[in-house]
Structure 1
Amino acid sequence: QLAEALEHAPNRPVRELDILPAAERTYLLEDLNRTAADYPSDVCVHELFEAQVQRAPDAVAVVHEDETLSYGELNARANRLAHHLIGLGVRPDQPVAICLERSPAMVVGLLAILKAGGAYLPLDPAYPSARLRQVLEDAAPHLLLCDAAGRAALGAEALVDLTVIDLETATPAWAELLASNPDPSALGLTSRHLAYVIYTSGSTGTPKGVMIEHASTVNLLHWSSGVFAESEISRTLFSTSISF
């Protein structure tokens, strides 16, 4: 194609030569870039989960060592904690820190924050304390969900100005609260509010918090569910915020 172009226009600058057939150029630059697709852009992340609860409440949702939770059980636990968080003043776009080891309680905490309208701020207890305190100082959350590992990782000094909710407590204050789903409209929550805040590695400077809306996360989940087979779902989990 290049030789033919040179033959018909020997004096034309190289950068102006047509080196692709018109059909191939259209395919590469136009057809492959038609990626627009419908997705439920007005739905929050936790509403997708609640829809699955309705479809299969008894199906297994979480397995951790010897503990198993169904979708219905997980939803009820998250709802009770969510109502507690709402009572503590959690509102849309408000960051709520969560620092727990991997466990069913971690999943309950994430869902509860979303259901309460907050944006979860994931803190890995395996990270250095200095890094975790830097994130806390920058994001300035008022609430922290944690366990013993989270407390130890953050250190007592970092907890002074936070309302700390220990998800390992034997008799939680929210145990008897409603198990029903909080109403997003009553909370003023929409898909354009924040779902979570994730911090960059900071390898080229100070780590920065990236704020992700529900609609963007739903878009990613909708796309990945159509791209990956069930056997490949770990690829999606690998790149999600809580695993980052």
Structure 2
Amino acid sequence: MVHFVGAGPGAPDLLTLRGAKLLGEAGCIIYAGSLVNPALLEMAPEGCPIYNSAEMTLEQVLDTIRAAEADGRDTVRLHTGDPCVYGAIREQMDALDAAGIPWDDTPGVSSFCGAAAALGAEYTLPGVSQSVIITRLAGRTPVPEKESLASMASHGASMVLFLSSGMLPQVQEELLKGDYTPDTPAAIVYKATWPEEKIVRCTVGTLAAKGAEAGIRKTALVLVGSFLGQGGYERSKLYDPSFTTEYREASL
């Protein structure tokens, strides 16, 4: 059996209870070494073999899983954040299905949630934005043409950019081709929830300069949108005394 487990954004205590239980019972662990906090590996049983998938190909990962299966050992495939976002899990799941190896998936706290928590931000502010775009800038690996960053930026919605902090000048240029202006609030969050977390607040127009000044080139998210501004949002209807809900009659 293979257990895909979302490791969360970094802090070990943000791993889910289910994920911690699976990690503590693992017969084999394959973890995303470039991003997963190594402190999580301290939960592994004594003697459990641990492999760093950053140094492996998909074929090597699958061979390691097959060997564990042959020995009757369950594998925990430990991915950063929640593996449904840039986790490359579908190709693994399809290969396991083809090999007749059962699997399950335990979600984790995504780093885009960890970054918002670090900033004290709400992506979906009433009257400001009710949509969140999670995307990345095309680099060594492409994105579909219709999902170019400039195209996504045309919506002006709350946006989170993964895998793009090493290309901030290009990010800034593409964002300004959309609905964002140089004064649109932005932020760079390096290693959200880790002890070395770093927050850089800026605007779209100062994004590249502020990132360079802070020395941030990887392992960071870029957040963009008016949700990062001060005020300007509407009160939520959910707790408005003049608004009737299924559970409460309006009192004003």
Both structures adopt the same fold (TM-score exceeding 0.5): no
TM-score of the pair, normalised by structure 2: 0.28
TM-score of the pair, normalised by structure 1: 0.28
Q: Could you say which structure has the higher helix fraction?
A: 1
From the CA coordinates, give the structure whose radius of gyration is larger.
1
